[in-house]
Amino acid sequence: MAMFGSIILAYLLGSIPFGYLIGQIKGRDIRRFGSGNIGTANALRVLGLPAAVAVFLGDVVKGLLGVMVGRWLGGGGVAAVLCGLAAICGHNWSVFLGFKGGKGVATSFGAALGIAPLLALLLVPVWVLAVAFTRYSSLGSLLAAALAPVVALLLRQGWHAVVFSLLAAALIIWRHKANIKRLLAGTELKLGDRI
């Protein structure tokens, strides 16, 4: 019962739509501009850098808190992984936004920090370098997600980290289907493009 409760709580934490809320404070519905996403990249486009930083931090923290809820209430690594994934699902399919949401990248990063900090930190340069060379946030996210399970295995981070990274990567790639099509077509918005 504690496990089930911790998963629900983690999902609700993940469902807090920081991008939408900060957009409302600034008088813009972030979902109606740019990519329509509630995450950091679109917040940068639509709301500017300070707001984007706030969105990123909020989304990271809710992923990390989801994992902590699993450890505190559910107990053990299995609960941490399930609650981390629940927080990501909350972000992607927020109960507060009619089960719509973002792509789960920052929330996945936060959850990874709670499950396998070294893995999470080693993936940051992958994202940074990809974006530095291409200015495509989506491409950086896809590369980091695809490499996460490989890095977890190579670093022997344990089966919890491997399972989490596989499932989180699958969610990220799935949520980026439209981005992948736009990348292939050459129509993807670049990081920093203003709307």
Classified as helix, coil or strand, 100 is: strand
Residues of the chain above pLDDT 90, percent: 87
Rounded Cα distance, 80 and 94, in Å: 20
Query: With bands split at pLDDT 50, 70 and 90, how would you rate the model's confidence at 15?
Result: very high
Token pair for 71: 């450890």
User: Are 173 and 146 a contacting pair, CB within 8 Å?
Assistant: yes
For residue 77, what pLDDT is reported? 87
Give pLDDT tens digits for 48-98. Answer: 999 999 999 999 999 999 999 999 887 788 999 999 999 999 999 999 999
Tokens of 75: 């107990």
User: How confident is the model at residue 195, as a pLDDT?
Assistant: 62
Note the pLDDT tens digit of each residue in 165-178: 999 999 999 999 99
Distance CA 61, CA 110 (A): 6
pTM: 0.94
